Structure 1
């Protein structure tokens, strides 16, 4: 299987002693990979290093076979990302925001902007100002910005954080549609176990900066566990309670 992302022994420690330690995992073409862990576990730190927003103390990251420290532009050429929050000009329309973002690329046509807005379910609202959008609609606009350049790999940090049930469903359906219809590989972080279980085929569990389990959801679950939540709690307790602090 083609490896889209290779993370090897990634480590970054902060002055307060927190950070990530020896994180290693791969994401393959076609995966919707869920990065699961509580707030403060290190999910965003890993994603910031992968996207070049932060630098690791040690370790290696390759995207499409390119090392991000040596061939960053080639590594990121087919990558879209939404880290932490969706930034947009609230006094402008959704369409105008995408039109401005398109200027950073050399070959994005207006038809692509229309297509992306339809993909994320914002077609009927494309001329409305972003300031009038609900949080769920803003997150969908963030997704639109992330996929505007037709990436093959999309990185999303807590894409449903703070959303109500309707907003979660909207974002979940959008990701499922893009993965199925557009064949986009996803790397999604979340602390919401149920959402991860619904959309991801593979997961990694990170607690206190350490990756404690990684694999296919279908393989991690068995007759012993009725849900990913049951499995997740069992892993915490299986570590002798050391990750429950």
Structure 2
């Protein structure tokens, strides 16, 4: 019986991605792995995300491209606001020393995220090539940071990719209690206000599941992405009134 996974395509710079149905399956060594190689350019990253593909690799590895099935997604209407976080958000919202900013310090956010390993992993996947690539994507207006500022200090945040109204979460960091959750809650409020229905979370983690994220099939995910791609992008600016999307009392 043949137990070898199918050959992994090696992409030349600018080459089209294989159909995502050809990604390695649940019985292969790396479920969701689609291809290797290519280039981390703005054009390639846009094409990847629009097809439900994202890069993820460690230092010393080639660029690896993934499209897992199922896909972890946070539908913003299903965000789970725990009572303790709700109290924190009320205090944050009413404090003159606290604010949410968008895109004021993107490179500081991604650098901080690069020092924060993903749940259950050691080391970082946000290698210098990724930092440079997403900084270029940010300068193109297609990657954004949501930042938690307390007493004039950047205490937490996240960054994401946004194509139209398709939003793809990448990574979060926190330097004080709940600072990354505050940023995520702010992104949820922003999305609700602008009619963005879901945030891609890529892979299943207990932390994301505790906040209401869940798995859906890759095809369901791609169907929703396709809708978002054809809608006009909102202005990426956070207004304090957006908190009313979560904090209605």
TM-score (norm 2): 0.31
- Higher RCO, Cα 8 Å, sep 6+: 1
TM-score (norm 1): 0.31
